[in-house]
């Protein structure tokens, strides 16, 4: 496994997004299957594991803590606060965005307990709570750094302007945002801002939420699959996007790799400061993804690939109106 810098840390070029094991893409996997995936990643050289308080409303952090505690010194642990589940009073939880300093500090205490660790290496503000100045939220995270509870601060789904404001309060180690061939929003401004400030860029959903891995049965998506609310997977947009896949798969064949590896290799070729974190519930898919570190793409193929799938050729927005209102990321006109 090749390595890259993640803020002050040296980690595997491809990390593991742990969300899929507990959240968002249907029923969570069993603890045994989650353990298989996590340990297979570690055995394969992955040293960057990414979770969040939101994922399964704490279940994912608990899983990571239970499985990975014996191996804590072998990897860099990232988690997130500012978006979590709040008990409605009837035994169920609802997702809320809350960036108040007292909430972030409490969430960190809960995370440390669930993760069974004394310190979280990289702690992100999962979403900027637009009711709270970013300076206040980052100030609270900087308190946690001083207290030794976290080592570095990250931000997720923020604009270049917000990043610069936050960085003026405390150095930001990493920005995490959706980035892939079919989601190019970071290219508008925040990716350049990261480079100006020396901030690493972590790309989530790097294989386009599974679209670039192979055929998807959208009619068979679980009732709780978040893709059901995403415009690109609505039947009319999905049908249009499917027309891109034959040429895309042909490019993967030309490159001598799988479709998933092509998507990840494209990201790795966008800069040494970019770290993809694909997620999966399958050891087979995990090992396929990790093979992307060895895929070398010629300049002409990168050009053809970028021209085939981009913001102009993909049909549908990445988020619905509600989700778009919750992020601070720049958008294309």
CA–CA distance, 327 with 305 (Å, rounded to integer): 28
DSSP H or E run through 34: helix 31-43
Place of tokens 């206040």: 136
* DSSP per-residue letters across 236-284: HHHHHHHTTHHHHHHHHHHHTS-HHHHHHHHHHTT-TTEEE----S-HH
Residue 264 CB coordination number (10 Å): 28
Identify the bridge partners of residue 138 per DSSP, sorted by sequence position: none
Residue 61 CB coordination number (10 Å): 29
Burial class of residue 246, CB neighbours in 10 A (0-12, 13-18, 19+): exposed
DSSP letter (8 states) at residue 154: E
Under 8 Å between Cβ of 111 and 119: no
CA–CA distance, 176 with 161 (Å, rounded to integer): 15
Residue 215 CB coordination number (10 Å): 9
CA–CA distance, 240 with 156 (Å, rounded to integer): 29
Residue 179 known to be catalytic: no
Tokens of 202: 């972590």
Place of tokens 């549908």: 316
Under 8 Å between Cβ of 48 and 278: no
Q: Considering the candidates 25, 55, 179, 319, report the single residue annotated as catalytic.
A: 55
Distances 231 to 228, 235, 236, 316, 323 between C-alpha atoms, Å: 8, 9, 9, 5, 11
Residues annotated as catalytic are 55
């Amino acid at each position: 496994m090749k390595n890259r810098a993640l803020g002050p840390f040296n980690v595997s070029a491809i990390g593991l997004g742990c969300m899929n094991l507990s959240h968002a893409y249907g029923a969570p996997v069993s603890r045994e299957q989650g353990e298989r995936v996590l340990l297979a990643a570690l055995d394969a050289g992955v040293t960057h594991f990414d979770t969040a308080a939101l994922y399964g409303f704490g279940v994912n952090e608990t899983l990571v803590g239970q499985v990975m505690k014996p191996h804590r010194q072998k990897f860099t642990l990232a988690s997130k606060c500012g978006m979590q589940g709040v008990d409605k009073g009837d035994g169920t939880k609802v997702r809320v965005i809350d960036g108040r300093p007292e909430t972030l500090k409490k969430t960190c205490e809960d995370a440390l307990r669930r993760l069974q660790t004394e310190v979280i290496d990289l702690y992100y503000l999962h979403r900027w709570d637009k009711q709270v100045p970013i300076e206040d939220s980052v100030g609270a995270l900087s308190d946690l750094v001083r207290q030794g509870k976290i080592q570095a601060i990250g931000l997720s789904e923020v604009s270049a302007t917000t990043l610069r404001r936050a960085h003026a309060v405390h150095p930001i180690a990493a920005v995490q945002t959706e980035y892939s061939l079919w989601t190019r929003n970071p290219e508008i401004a925040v990716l350049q801002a990261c480079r100006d400030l020396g901030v690493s860029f972590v790309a989530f959903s790097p294989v386009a939420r599974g679209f670039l891995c192979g055929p998807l049965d959208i009619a068979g998506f679980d009732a709780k699959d978040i893709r059901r609310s995403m415009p690109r997977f609505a039947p009319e947009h999905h049908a249009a996007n499917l027309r891109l896949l034959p040429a895309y798969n042909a490019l993967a064949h030309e490159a001598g790799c799988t479709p998933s590896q092509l998507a990840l290799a494209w990201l790795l070729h966008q800069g040494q400061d970019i770290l993809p974190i694909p997620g999966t519930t399958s050891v087979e898919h995990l090992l396929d993804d990790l093979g992307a570190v060895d895929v070398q793409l010629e300049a002409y193929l990168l050009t053809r690939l970028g021209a085939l799938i981009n913001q102009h050729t993909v049909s549908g927005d990445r988020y619905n109106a509600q989700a778009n209102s919750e992020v601070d990321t720049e958008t294309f006109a």
